Amino acid sequence: MWGCRSSIAHGKAQGARGGFVTSPKRETSRALAICTAGSAEVLSPGTARYELVEKLRTLQSAGGPHYWSVDPEQELLTVHRLSAEGYVTALTAGVGGAVRAEPFEEVAISIRALFGFDEADR
């Protein structure tokens, strides 16, 4: 979660660099880290709907500026950016070249390497 330093207090974001929130429907569930840069999630087939709908709403209400979803089944990286209207898709990338994804545009990220493909096997 991109170097968060924060604490949890009644499900509300705390700390100078971010915080933790819990889903309103799942007060006893594990906390979600919200960082200055954003959060990332590797989607699981059994929980992808929850992660892309409910968790995204929770992160949005906490003001998480970016949310990356990594889908190993579809081999896709999707970067969501928080806007005044809610999250918008800033980037969707499949296995291919390298991308410069928000908020880390300075770094080229190989989608092939992200999904465990050897770069030499092109």
Strands 39-42 and 66-71 come out as parallel
- Encode pLDDT of 42-52 as tens digits: 898 888 888 88
> Over 90: is that where the pLDDT of 64 sits?
no
Q: Please state, in angstroms and rounded to a whole number, the distance separating the CA atoms of residues 8 and 19.
A: 7
Whether omega for the bond prior to residue 72 falls within 30 degrees of 0, making it cis, is no
d(CA 38, CA 64): 5
Q: Over the chain, what is the mean pLDDT?
A: 74
Query: Residue 115 pLDDT more than 80?
Result: yes
Residues 57 and 54: their CA atoms lie apart, in Å, by 5
pLDDT at 81 over 60: yes
pLDDT at res. 35: 55
H or E element in which residue 62 lies? helix 55-62
